[in-house]
Amino acid sequence: MEKVQCKFCSLKSSAAKELNDGELDILGSNCAEVKFNSGDIIIKQDSFSTNIAYVKSGLVKIHIKGPIKEMIMRIVKAPAYLCLPSSFGDKINHFSASALENNTSICFIDLNTFKQFVISNGDFSYEILLELSKGQLQSFHNCISNAQKHNIGKVADSLLFFANDIYSTLSFNLPISRQDLGDMTGCTRESVSRIFTDFHNEKIIKIEGRKITILNEPLLRQISEKG
């Protein structure tokens, strides 16, 4: 864990960029940066929450343990805050967050300090509202996809999400397991593996271990849209 000088940080959030030098000094005095490796738990469900977590670099999965099984709710790419509604709505974390990449950097910000910026700085508050809206829209999209699409459409959706929203390339190393992808899409691991094999055989994608290359994006997008 290390203290950070927020004033000179090149990876500040859009909200933090709206803070003046004095506010940035306060932020730096009430913030600590922690490095996590792939698989490390960043936030644990049902634990007491006293901080806002900001993903400075790396990739994180948000997962919730339900009455039957665990579900992956979101994949969060830096820079981003982790589940702001839960942080403001209750003193207990309603989710867990785990690093998906080595050297994922998380800034833990004192909750009371963060709330004071929301109250006193309108531009900061506006950027936080934008962040909240973006997360809510993604949750709506995921809910509709999981509720109304067949498994093949859900898996196509997830591949396009990683290619376009996370890595901005058609060739990438899948950062989660087949089981995790099933937990993310509401499919079984066996269904995900079978669909991957079908996509590979039909030359829609190429699979080399964890590396996925999308060979026919228009067809994959059509499968995603028709579900």
Domains of the chain in start order, with CATH, are 2-145 (2.60.120.10), 149-226 (1.10.10.10)
Percent of the chain with pLDDT over 90: 69
Query: Model confidence at 110, in pLDDT bands (50, 70, 90)?
Result: very high
Per-chain mean pLDDT for the chain:
90
Strands in 125-202 per DSSP E? 171-173
Task: Give yes or no for residue 89 having a pLDDT over 70.
Answer: no
Amino acid 86: pLDDT: 66
Nearest to 121 by CA among 23, 13, 1, 6: 23
The Cα–Cα gap between 97 and 14 comes to 22
- Contact status, residue 86 vs residue 94, Cβ threshold 8 Å: yes
Residue-wise pLDDT tens digits, 203-218: 999 999 999 999 999 9
pLDDT at 140: 76
Instruction: Say which residue the tokens 């343990």 belong to.
Output: 65
pLDDT at residue 223 above 60?
yes
Backbone angles phi, psi at 160, to 5 degrees: -70, -35
pTM: 0.86
Nearest to 51 by CA among 87, 94, 105: 87
pLDDT exceeding 70 applies to what percent of the chain? Answer: 96
- Over residues 36-45, the pLDDT tens digits come to 999 999 999 9
Which pLDDT does position 160 carry in this prediction? Answer: 96
Instruction: Tell me what pLDDT residue 2 has.
Output: 53
29: phi then psi, degrees, rounded to nearest 5: -80, -15
Q: What is the DSSP letter of 8?
A: G
pLDDT at 132: 84
Other C-beta atoms within 10 Å of 26: how many? 17
Per-residue confidence (pLDDT) for residue 148, from 0 to 100: 77
Q: Residue 25: is its pLDDT beyond 60?
A: yes
Tell me: pLDDT of 70 over 90. Answer: no
At residue 87, the pLDDT reads 66
Task: Take residue 119 and report the two structure tokens written for it.
Answer: 């109250």
Q: What is the pLDDT of residues 112-171, one digit of tens each?
A: 999 999 999 999 999 999 988 887 777 777 777 777 789 999 999 999 999 999 999 999
Whether the predicted pLDDT of 220 surpasses 60: yes
| Confidence band of 226 (pLDDT split at 50, 70, 90) | confident
